[in-house]
Amino acid sequence: SVTTLSMGLILVNSIVIIGIILVVIGGIVVVVARRNTQVPGSDRERFVDPLMTDEYRKYGPTSVAPGAILNYGGASHVVRGSLELSQGPFRWWEHLVDGGADGSWFGVEEDEGEVILTWWRKLPGSFEPANPIVVDGVEYWEEERGTARYTAIGTTGLPPEGATDFVDYKSGDGRLLGLERYGDSMWEASTGIRILPGEIDVMAAPDHNPDTDNR
């Protein structure tokens, strides 16, 4: 009869709809299961962006930039200019503080998840790379050399962008020495020390500093 046929069609349609719903639910379960059973130690689980950690953000380029105040060694230092340097996937920052011919530089870099802070003072005169190299009676041994690209903001005495050759040294007692050469200039040297986060306080740079153009 017509009634029996209608009921049969309704039953068939209901079965089809239930089947579709089960297929959708099954797909969702599979996706969730794959996410929850991800292999430990995979790149997704191990990767942590160092710029997202609280410690790195404190010393990162949005905090330490022209206009920031660094309280270190019993004195307050104003950041006048900043360099962002890169070599392949690696990036680090050098910040000129207080200015002057023998102005200090504050270095920030990330190495295998560790934030490394350094404080540098420029030496007068010119130098030539050697291994070892002796400066002021201290013997330094080469650790790394290469060429990096940089971009500059604020007062640094350099063009807005360019390249620099560098050689990094370290003494037996942990003191640092760096040689840098920009373009065709002579090699310049700076001595440095590593400092701990607890030794320096940062008053972050203003969000908008109209004086961060290169000079």
27 or 59, greater pLDDT = 59
Q: What is the pLDDT of residue 60?
A: 85
Q: Which of the four pLDDT bands, split at 50, 70 and 90, describes residue 5?
A: very low
Q: What is the pLDDT of residue 7?
A: 53
Q: What is the pLDDT of residue 184?
A: 83
Q: Which of the four pLDDT bands, split at 50, 70 and 90, describes residue 39?
A: very low
- What are the tens digits of pLDDT across the range 84-126? 999 998 899 999 998 555 679 999 998 777 889 999 999 988 8
- What are the tens digits of pLDDT across the range 137-168? 999 999 999 999 999 999 998 999 999 999 99
The answer to whether the beta carbons of residues 147 and 90 sit under 8 Å apart is: no
Map residue 140 onto helix, strand or coil. strand
Looking at the predicted structure, is the pLDDT value of residue 127 above 60? yes
Number of residues assigned to the chain? 215
CA-based torsion, 59, 47, 143, 128: positive or negative: negative
Q: Which of the four pLDDT bands, split at 50, 70 and 90, describes residue 213?
A: very low
The answer to whether the beta carbons of residues 193 and 175 sit under 8 Å apart is: yes
Q: What is the pLDDT of residue 61?
A: 84
Which two tokens mark 22? 């089960």
Which two tokens mark 178? 């760096």
**Highest-pLDDT range among 46-50, 60-64, 96-100:** 60-64
CA-based torsion, 144, 107, 84, 189: positive or negative: negative
Question: What is the overall mean pLDDT for the chain?
Answer: 79
Q: State how far Cα 16 lies from the chain centre.
A: 56
